[in-house]
Amino acid sequence: MADNAPEKIGKYKVVRPLGKGAMGMVYEGYDPVIERRVAIKTILAEYLEAAEMEEAVARFKREAQAGGRLMHPGIIGVYEYGDEGGMAYIVMEYCDGEELKNVFREGRRYELIDTFEIMKQLLSALEYSHKQGVVHRDIKPANLMILPGPKVKIMDFGIARLESSSLTQVGTVVGTPTHMAPEQLMGIQADGRADLWSAGVILYEMLTAVNPFLAETPATVMHRVLQVTPEPPSSVNPALPPGFDGVIARALAKKPADRFASARDFQLALLQALQGKAVAGTSSVERTLPPGAAARAESTRISMRAPAERRPLVVDPSILAELERSLSRHIGPLAKVLVKQGQGEAKDMDELLELLAANIPREERGEFLAKAATIRKKAVAAAEAPAPAPAAPAPSPAVDATQSAKAQKTRINFTPEAVATAEKRLASYVGPLAKILIKDAVNKSATLKELYLSLASHIDDEDERKAFLKSVDL
């Protein structure tokens, strides 16, 4: 611990400094009563003039008020606000992750499915925040903590606007210019659609590795935000399906009324783009996914997926398959990915169904949940059924090793050309998910026939599935 760091702040033991800001320090702390790690954010009077201190403390209180009323897995929890010896402090949830800003700075890229997962979590947290009457107003990479999974946590509600608060006045420009909505730059009171604009800028950066409004001077940044329409992301990154152009066009509309009405609408549009479907309200851009679009090279992308934090929920494979089929009727082949992710995140069957239902449009959710209730009963019955008889003895290590070696040898014989051809054929039916699905199929298949049969299982339409298999004489 640094020599000038206090040993305690309030009841909390100071473990080590985590960072230094313009107004104070952030420490890792320890709560001896509850026995948990915490983060302690401080403001020190010695850093600021009297007027600045008053403003900073008001902002601190606002952060505590906003964060303290928000309890969501995608938002850093605020536990306590205090003042001790001229030092105001907030005690918060401790998260061992990294800021999205650092990911961008180091030039790392996300695969498309991870980009969707991060945005899905961000938008879910914003949907919750907005329903609680809290607008963040400074959504930017430095305020998003990325944890293994990937998991997302929104930080710093210091300039948030509470519906019941008079602390924020119209005419005050607050936020980070490259991620601020036009109405914020003009000093007009902003609602939740300003947060959706900022989320749109982050999505653009994740898809293209470019900030659409970054410039050398604040005046130029402001001009771009207010007057310039960014290039469609597929023009910057040709590997992207053009469906994302419509999502970005709507998220970054200059007028709030032309943007998504809610974070939930934004999330559903993203899901449609990932599936290669049209996005409503974007007639000015191309909306169809051409066959083979997903087979374009994405060599600059690096998977950021880390091992799941908890063991996957144990569910009978036949139950999972039935859930996947039911979900796929509403969202297509992405169902397989979401069921697998949900199994890794949910602690029980009810939570798994809730996670899956969140990906379905509201008007179709009731139908899915009705079917899911039947599936859940089967899962409960399966769990309560007597244990099966012991399995036959496993093959000897020598035999098992020989079989594994043969299978591995067969898999190694899949040439890059064969894999690329299979991916291109599948992409004609399932869009950009082909790139993800083929990796799993290659690892599980011992022959080319097994590979294509595995891929065919992701095509919902029976006629299309037959056409796919017929293309390779199966």
Q: How many structural domains compose the chain?
A: 4
Alpha carbon distance 401, 381 (integer Å)? 37
Alpha carbon distance 31, 359 (integer Å)? 37
Residue range 276-304: average pLDDT?
37
Higher local confidence (pLDDT), 286 or 268: 268
Task: List the catalytic residue out of 138, 195, 245, 265.
Answer: 138
Where are the alpha helices (H) located in 276-415, listed in sequence order?
Answer: 317-331, 334-345, 349-357, 362-384, 397-412
Known binding residues for ATP: 41
Alpha carbon distance 114, 203 (integer Å)? 11
Report if residue 203 sits inside a domain. Answer: yes
pLDDT-based confidence at residue 172 (cuts at 50, 70, 90):
very low
Instruction: Note whether 173 and 218 are within 8 A (CB).
Output: no
- For residue 197, pLDDT beyond 50: yes
Q: Which tokens go with 388? A: 């099966």
- For residue 322, pLDDT beyond 70: yes
Give me the percent of the chain exceeding a pLDDT of 70: 76
Q: Which of 43, 59, 93 is where one domain is finished? A: 93
- Of 75-84, 88-97, 205-214, give the range with the top mean pLDDT: 205-214
Domain shared by 84 and 103, yes or no: no
Return the amino acid letter for 101.
K
Instruction: Note whether 423 and 435 are within 8 A (CB).
Output: yes
Q: Which tokens go with 444? A: 């599980």
- pLDDT of 188 reads 85
- For residue 167, pLDDT beyond 50: no
- For residue 98, list its beta bridge partners: 146
Domain shared by 120 and 258, yes or no: yes
Report if residue 20 sits inside a domain. Answer: yes
Report if residue 119 sits inside a domain. Answer: yes
Report if residue 396 sits inside a domain. Answer: no
- pLDDT of 45 reads 62
Domain shared by 112 and 46, yes or no: no
Residue 85's domain comprises: 8-93
Instruction: Note whether 213 and 172 are within 8 A (CB).
Output: no
Domain shared by 110 and 239, yes or no: yes
Q: Which of 244, 259, 275 is where one domain is finished? A: 275
Report if residue 197 sits inside a domain. Answer: yes
End-to-end CA distance of the chain: 66
- Of 89-93, 385-389, 390-394, give the range with the top mean pLDDT: 89-93
Instruction: Note whether 185 and 177 are within 8 A (CB).
Output: yes
Domain shared by 123 and 209, yes or no: yes
Given the structure tokens 């650092």, which residue do they identify? 102
Q: Which tokens go with 301? A: 């992308």
- 245 included as an active-site residue: no
Backbone angles phi, psi at 25, to 5 degrees: -125, 160
Report if residue 286 sits inside a domain. Answer: no
pLDDT-based confidence at residue 413 (cuts at 50, 70, 90):
low
pTM: 0.62
Domain shared by 211 and 140, yes or no: yes
pLDDT-based confidence at residue 399 (cuts at 50, 70, 90):
very low
Q: Which of 62, 78, 93 is where one domain is finished? A: 93
Residue range 207-225: average pLDDT?
91
Which of 151, 247, 166 minimizes the C-alpha distance to 199? Answer: 247
CATH number, domain containing residue 237? 1.10.510.10
Domain shared by 225 and 148, yes or no: yes
Higher local confidence (pLDDT), 260 or 321: 260
Higher local confidence (pLDDT), 222 or 281: 222
Domain shared by 120 and 34, yes or no: no
What 3-state class would DSSP assign to 62?
helix
Domain shared by 112 and 258, yes or no: yes
What is the 8-class DSSP label of residue 128? H
